[in-house]
Structure 1
């Protein structure tokens, strides 16, 4: 009975998704919504298959931008979190600016980055860093601040150095919040890359979306949206895989 319930829970979302796709197809085919406004799932799949080589070419550029921006965001986020934890004046000065970076909409700052840094890959990476480092910084910083002082005192009583305390206690404690934040940042990275490409560039899914939108090819627009969603899910799945590899003790508890 429990096994049957687990199977039902696992496939319930899939069943609902298939039902919605069938309903979508029926509504469009019946003519309730014009195809130029909302293409059917079949139209979207045909557009995806037809333009798949071109979409993949653009997707490679977007993935490269997202990967580079995410890696730099992780490095900056971790560095800032450790600096703010260990040096209090750094926290007092930089924490308000860290929060301030998230109050400015990406759509507002992207044109400025393009104006200052040109139409190359650099403004895209900078925008992705700005959107992805914040969850990492806050998650890691809070984990460091919540380190059990009794455990720290115990290690100090055993003549552990600050580096050893960091390695054996503080750093492992940051892994859980880090990977939770990384899943958010990974999805932000793809979206940030696409948004930055809307405003200038030669290649990328955002550039492709701008071109097909101007041609009113909304079936291709939906095809790109599908690819962007898949890329975000793949990135989040990869983060989940890394999380399991870096925290094997969690799997042992299950």
Structure 2
């Protein structure tokens, strides 16, 4: 973790330079704020409009976390079932891949028709976005377990259940956390998309109202906080990985 903090100044410096170039370009080109506001105006609006934006942000965070937990749980359970029952994996896995070719933004209106404007269709959208990366990552982790370790445990008298819980599942944790990090960032995007379907509050609602009134600075405020939430969720998953997968953390620190 210390290495990540020491290297963090590089992307921060690049981001700062981009903001400076953006500010100067907008000022020199005399671009109106409703078309492309400078970063200074975006930060001013983030501070001045926090009283209005805060409740929307809180609603999106709650929806993202709930959808992420549900999607992660379903993804992991699906991966376990597909791994332990080969004929189910052969029958279902190709269909899971095909399901990812369906654009969520197209499926979303159907969910509203079927389930209304409540919480359920929003959770379904986030779950559909989150579960697939975890399922694929966990399956890859299960398959990457060294065969020699499996043979050793079988020679020691381990049954199939013990083989899975004591070897395959722990060995798949690095791959599983990779899927969790992807899904954590996707969950915020899924929450915003689901709020476009119809909601009373949320960052998606805030963005819709801002864009319809040509308040481009507010749209950028929403985008800024979407990125911040995604980075924070990614960092939390990374921290949990460093704690639970200590052997991998030691290898990363030695590099």
Q: Same fold (TM over 0.5)?
A: yes
Say whether the 8 Å CA contact 1:135–1:185 is kept in structure 2: yes
Please state how far the C-alpha of 1:10 moved relative to its aligned partner.
4.3
1:118-133 correspondence runs (5 A):
118-133=116-131
Higher mean alpha-carbon deviation, 91-100 vs 171-180, is at: 91-100
1:114–1:199 Cα contact (<8 Å) kept: yes
Aligned structure 1 segments of 4 or more residues deviating by more than 4 angstroms? none
TM-score (norm 1): 0.92
Whether contact under 8 Å (2:71, 2:130) holds in the other structure is yes
Q: 26-35 or 68-77: which moved more? A: 26-35
Alpha-carbon distance in structure 2 between the residues aligned to 1:119 and 1:54: 23
The answer to whether residue 213 in structure 2 is matched with residue 215 in structure 1 is yes
**Is residue 2:157 matched to residue 1:135?**
no
- In structure 2, the partner of 1:151 is 149
User: 8 Å contact 1:198–1:207 — kept in the other structure?
Assistant: yes
Output one character per residue of 1:148-179: Cα deviation in whole Å (capped at 9) or x when no partner: 22211211111122222122210111100111
In the alignment, which residue of structure 1 is the partner of 2:91? Answer: 93
User: Which residue, 13, 23, 30 being the options, matches 1:15?
Assistant: 13
User: Secondary structure, in 3 states, of the residue corresponding to 1:30?
Assistant: helix
Counterpart CA distance in 1 for 2:231 and 2:187 is 12
Alpha carbons 2:145, 2:172 under 8 Å: kept:
no
Work out the CA distance in 2 between the residues paired with 1:122 and 1:198. 14
Matched, 1:184 2:160: no
> Within 1, Cα distance between the matches of 2:138 and 2:229?
25
Match for residue 63 of structure 1 among 61, 64, 81: 61
Q: Secondary structure at the match of 2:200?
A: coil
Q: TM-score by structure 2 length?
A: 0.92
| Per-residue deviation, 1:202 | 0.8
Deviations 1:123-162 (A, max 9, x none): 1110010011001001111221232222112111111222
In structure 2, stretches of 5+ residues that fail to align are none
Unaligned runs of 5+ in 1: 1-5
The residue matched to 2:172 in structure 1 has which SS?
A: helix
Distance between the aligned counterparts of 2:161 and 2:50, measured in 1?
50
Does the aligned pair in 2 maintain the 1:101–1:130 contact within 8 Å? no
Provide the secondary structure at the position in 2 that maps to 1:70: helix
**Residues 1-254 of structure 1: pairs in structure 2 closer than 5 A:** 10-253=8-251, 254=253
Instruction: Provide the rounded CA distance (Å) in 2 between the counterparts of 1:109 and 1:188.
Output: 17
Does the CA-based 8 Å contact 2:141-2:172 persist in structure 1?
yes
